[in-house]
């Protein structure tokens, strides 16, 4: 999903360093700590922490939200039939039962998923949860529409397409029994990552009757350890502990320790200083620490600050295949050949890892050890060759609009990219859009954006999650995530074939995913400019070692504890 952070290796480091032992006789949460942290023996409950976010969530309504800033709170307020383990590193990528009693039983060659809803579940407003609420939730996500609905719902669930086009009154592929709690989902074809799809907050159950409209300022009730309250648009919201959660006793999903006030503040410098000076508690890991403040953090806050190697995110520039100049492969190759990743890295305060492949290093299929087809990314780009390619393409002088967010360093990256495009022979101008509306703006096909900033963090540890961005089936008229409108028959066929392989068997098709990623790089469908590392940074009030950096959702807010 957009702008997420997954530390692939921190769990191993933390476990090797020290292990926190639960106090005897009291309920406790298992914690891991980094080498520099002090660890309590029991979890401390109570209190409120302040989290600063540089960008507002696109929507707190789970039926709409599809950025990291939205998923961070939604994950804890809207539990799906499955969910993820609350752990650091790769352990956090493990799918566990959520509102279902067990992981789905998969039959019919991978096309039928069956679960039973736990008994005694209540929404945060006290209303009992029924099996049919799942069908309603899925229908709502289609109608709003949720940005992932094209790839994960209508493309996968039988009858979902007919429902979305108005040809059916309900989704025929989902059958439920409120009396027994049984939910059966029939897919169009086997889809190996469907367990992960069920874990999306957007498929976290909401009550039947919730309006089929985006409700960002008054999100619907859900089932989870937290509830979202006090929403002030683009300013703040609160995540308060759900008093009904503990009684439902769902294993693997702990109750939270503190309430969280999330404040939206686009001044990243001020946010950094606030956390450094303990006037706020958590720095959102989706933001970038300004380079000018890094020395200060390293000297004053080394016990509560670290840059975490994601391994699960890719930063790239999309190039619209359906519009000039990037309908020409030579024009795209010019960008990939000439763009300087060291320059982009400087603008990002040195937090990027170089690379050219769409799959990031932690995802199976990433072509490790294979040379990049258009030169070493660390070399700084070949401007002369890029100019030559532009001339050869016949696209020299084409006006190009570069789309960019306002926040740094993304705007700085796109300013540099605009300057680079002008240098190699295009007539580029930059258009800057407010962060909260950037992806929905460029996701509107009517606008037909030519090129601009994009990023992706793994929704789940499966390469198909990345290739949804390059699959023809994912092109939607609104909330489109395939910004470049890539529609390559080979990619489409491979995604359909390899996407049916369950996550547990991915290693058997690793070579094929690698071949696909190398093909994509050669076609220059996107211009990858690095894999981001992210800041894990808190105030002195927070138990740093106990705070979980989740591979799918970033900060696990339910793991925050005061010392």
Partner 1 sequence: MATTSATGTEFSGETAALLAEGEGLPPGIGPWALAWRRLRRNKTALAFGGLFILIVVVCLLAPVYSHAIAHIGPADETYLSKPFNVKTQEFAVSPTGIPIGPTWHSRFFLGADANGRDVAVRLLYGGRNSLEIGFVATMITMVLALILGVWSGYFRGISDGVINRFLDIIWAYPAVLLGVTLGTVLAVGGIGPLHGTALLVPAIVIGIVYIPYVAKPVRGQVLTLREREFVDAARQQGLSHARIMFSEILPNLASTIIVFFPLILANAILLEAALTYLGAGVQPPNASWGTMISDGISTIPAAFHNVLVPGIMLVLCVLSINVFGDGLRDALDPRAKVRIAH
Residue 535 interacts with partner 1 (CB under 8 A)? no
| Candidates 19-27, 111-119, 238-246, 409-417; binding stretch for partner 1 (CB under 8 A) | 409-417
Residue 409 interacts with partner 1 (CB under 8 A)? yes
| Candidates 29-37, 41-49, 145-153, 422-430; binding stretch for partner 1 (CB under 8 A) | 422-430
What is the DSSP code (8-state) at residue 395?
Answer: -
Residue 234 interacts with partner 1 (CB under 8 A)? no
How would you label 426-450 residue by residue, b for 16+ Cβ within 10 Å and e otherwise? bebebebbebbebbbbbbebeeebb
Which residues 375-394 are close enough to bind partner 1 by CB under 8 A?
Answer: 380-381
| Candidates 103-111, 124-132, 143-151, 337-345; binding stretch for partner 1 (CB under 8 A) | 337-345
Among 107, 246, 249, 419, binds partner 1 (CB under 8 A): 419
Residue 296 interacts with partner 1 (CB under 8 A)? yes
Residue 278 interacts with partner 1 (CB under 8 A)? no
Measured distance CA(541)–CA(543) in Å, rounded: 7
Among 106, 294, 364, 445, binds partner 1 (CB under 8 A): 294
Task: Label the pairing between strands 18-19 and 32-33.
Answer: antiparallel
Among 155, 347, 464, 562, binds partner 1 (CB under 8 A): 347
Residue 292 interacts with partner 1 (CB under 8 A)? yes
Residue 159 interacts with partner 1 (CB under 8 A)? no
Among 88, 261, 418, 561, binds partner 1 (CB under 8 A): 418
Q: Is 48 exposed, middle or buried (0-12, 13-18, 19+ CB in 10 A)?
A: middle
Among 17, 91, 432, 510, binds partner 1 (CB under 8 A): 432
Backbone angles phi, psi at 485, to 5 degrees: 50, 45
Residue 110 interacts with partner 1 (CB under 8 A)? no
Residue 422 interacts with partner 1 (CB under 8 A)? yes
- Residues that bind partner 1 (rule: CB under 8 A) add up to a total of 40
Among 132, 184, 430, 540, binds partner 1 (CB under 8 A): 430
Question: CB of residue 469 vs partner 1: minimum separation in angstroms?
Answer: 24
**CA of residue 451 relative to chain centroid, distance:** 21
Residue 485 interacts with partner 1 (CB under 8 A)? no
Residue 445 interacts with partner 1 (CB under 8 A)? no
Measured distance CA(184)–CA(173) in Å, rounded: 8
What is the DSSP code (8-state) at residue 117?
Answer: B
In this structure, are residues 80 and 198 in contact, taking their beta carbons and an 8 Å threshold? yes
Q: Which residue number, 208 or 444, has a Cβ lying nearer to partner 1?
A: 444
| Candidates 158-166, 314-322, 402-410, 529-537; binding stretch for partner 1 (CB under 8 A) | 402-410
In angstroms, what is the C-alpha Rg of the chain?
23
What is the DSSP code (8-state) at residue 121?
Answer: -
Backbone angles phi, psi at 76, to 5 degrees: -90, -15
Among 388, 415, 444, 492, binds partner 1 (CB under 8 A): 415
Q: What tokens appear for 485 in the block?
A: 């409108």
| Candidates 255-263, 311-319, 340-348, 368-376; binding stretch for partner 1 (CB under 8 A) | 340-348
Give helix then strand counts, H and E, for the chain. 17, 22
Q: State the DSSP H helix or E strand holding residue 421, giving kind and residue range, or none if neither.
A: helix 410-424
Measured distance CA(175)–CA(162) in Å, rounded: 16
Residue 348 interacts with partner 1 (CB under 8 A)? yes
Q: Which residue number, 135 or 440, has a Cβ lying nearer to partner 1?
A: 440
- Three-state secondary structure string covering 228-255: EEEEECCCEEEEEECCCHHHHCCCCCCC
Measured distance CA(385)–CA(528) in Å, rounded: 18
Q: Which residue number, 158 or 412, has a Cβ lying nearer to partner 1?
A: 412
Q: Which residue number, 190 or 294, has a Cβ lying nearer to partner 1?
A: 294
Q: Which residue number, 125 or 300, has a Cβ lying nearer to partner 1?
A: 300
Question: CB of residue 371 vs partner 1: minimum separation in angstroms?
Answer: 20
Question: CB of residue 292 vs partner 1: minimum separation in angstroms?
Answer: 3
Residue 349 interacts with partner 1 (CB under 8 A)? yes
How would you label 219-258 residue by residue, b for 16+ Cβ within 10 Å and e otherwise? bbbbbbbbbbeebeeeebbbbbbbebbeebebeebbbbbb
Residue 178 interacts with partner 1 (CB under 8 A)? no
What is the DSSP code (8-state) at residue 322?
Answer: T
Measured distance CA(77)–CA(226) in Å, rounded: 5
Residue 177 interacts with partner 1 (CB under 8 A)? no
Question: CB of residue 514 vs partner 1: minimum separation in angstroms?
Answer: 30
- Binding to partner 1 by CB under 8 A, coded x per residue (else -) over 254-273, reads -------------xxx----
Residue 345 interacts with partner 1 (CB under 8 A)? yes
Question: CB of residue 277 vs partner 1: minimum separation in angstroms?
Answer: 13
CA distances from 170 to 166, 167, 207, 224, 397 (A): 9, 9, 16, 26, 51
Question: CB of residue 421 vs partner 1: minimum separation in angstroms?
Answer: 11
Name the nearest CA neighbour of 109 among 47, 191, 182, 166.
191
Residue 406 interacts with partner 1 (CB under 8 A)? yes
Residue 444 interacts with partner 1 (CB under 8 A)? no
In this structure, are residues 310 and 7 in contact, taking their beta carbons and an 8 Å threshold? yes
Residue 514 interacts with partner 1 (CB under 8 A)? no
Residues 6+ apart with CB under 8 A from 190: 109, 110, 111, 500
Q: Which residue number, 165 or 422, has a Cβ lying nearer to partner 1?
A: 422
Site residues for partner 1 per CB under 8 A: 267-269, 290-296, 340, 342-343, 345-350, 380-381, 404, 406, 408-409, 411-412, 415-416, 418-420, 422-423, 429-434
């Amino acid at each position: 999903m957009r702008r997420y952070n997954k530390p692939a290796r921190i769990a191993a480091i933390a476990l090797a360093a020290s292990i926190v032992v639960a106090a005897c006789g009291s309920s406790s949460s298992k914690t891991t700590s980094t080498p520099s942290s002090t660890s309590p023996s029991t979890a401390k409950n109570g209190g409120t922490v302040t989290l600063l976010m540089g960008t507002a969530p696109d929507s707190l309504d789970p039926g709409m939200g599809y950025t990291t800033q939205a998923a961070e709170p939604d994950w804890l307020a809207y539990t799906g039939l499955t969910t993820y383990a609350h752990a650091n590193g790769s352990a956090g990528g493990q799918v566990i039962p959520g509102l279902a009693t067990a992981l789905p039983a998969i039959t019919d060659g991978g096309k039928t998923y069956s679960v039973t809803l736990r008994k005694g579940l209540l929404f945060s407003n006290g209303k009992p949860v029924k099996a049919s609420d799942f069908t309603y939730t899925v229908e709502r996500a289609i109608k709003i529409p949720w940005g992932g609905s094209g790839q994960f719902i209508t493309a996968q669930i039988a009858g979902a397409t007919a429902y979305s086009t108005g040809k059916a009154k309900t989704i025929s592929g989902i059958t439920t029994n409120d009396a027994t709690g049984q939910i059966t989902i029939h897919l169009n074809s086997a889809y190996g990552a469907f367990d992960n799809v069920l874990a999306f907050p957007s498929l976290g159950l909401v009550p039947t009757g919730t309006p089929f409209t985006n409700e960002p300022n008054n999100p619907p009730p859900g089932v989870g350890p937290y509830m979202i309250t006090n929403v002030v648009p683009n300013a703040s919201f609160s995540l308060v502990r759900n008093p009904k959660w503990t009684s439902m006793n769902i294993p693997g999903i702990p109750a939270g320790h503190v309430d969280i006030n999330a404040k939206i503040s686009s001044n990243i410098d001020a946010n950094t200083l606030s956390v450094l000076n303990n006037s706020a508690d958590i720095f959102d890991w989706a933001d970038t620490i300004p380079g000018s403040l890094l020395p200060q953090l390293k000297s004053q806050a080394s016990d509560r600050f670290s840059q975490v190697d994601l391994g699960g995110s890719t930063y790239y520039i999309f190039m619209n295949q359906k519009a000039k100049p990037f309908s020409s492969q030579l024009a795209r190759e010019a960008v990939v050949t000439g763009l300087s990743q060291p320059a982009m890295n400087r603008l990002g305060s040195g937090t990027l890892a170089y690379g050219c492949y769409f799959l990031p290093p932690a995802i199976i299929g990433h072509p490790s050890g294979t040379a990049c087809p258009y030169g070493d990314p660390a070399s700084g780009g070949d401007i002369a060759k890029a100019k030559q390619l532009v001339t050869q393409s016949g696209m020299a002088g084409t006006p190009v609009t570069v789309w960019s967010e306002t926040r740094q360093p993304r705007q700085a990256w796109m300013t540099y990219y605009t300057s680079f495009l002008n240098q190699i022979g295009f007539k580029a101008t930059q258009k800057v859009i407010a962060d909260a509306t950037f992806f929905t703006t460029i996701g509107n096909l009517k606008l037909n954006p030519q090129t601009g900033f994009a990023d992706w963090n793994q929704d789940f540890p499966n390469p198909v999650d990345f290739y949804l961005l390059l699959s023809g089936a994912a092109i939607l008229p609104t909330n489109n995530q395939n910004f470049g409108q890539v529609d390559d028959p080979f990619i489409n066929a491979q995604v359909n074939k390899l996407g049916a392989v369950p996550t547990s068997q991915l290693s058997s098709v690793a070579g094929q995913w690698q071949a696909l990623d190398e093909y994509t790089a050669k076609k220059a469908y996107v211009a990858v400019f690095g894999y981001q590392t992210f800041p894990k940074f808190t105030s002195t009030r927070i138990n740093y070692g106990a705070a979980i950096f989740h591979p799918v959702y970033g900060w696990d807010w339910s793991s925050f504890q005061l010392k």
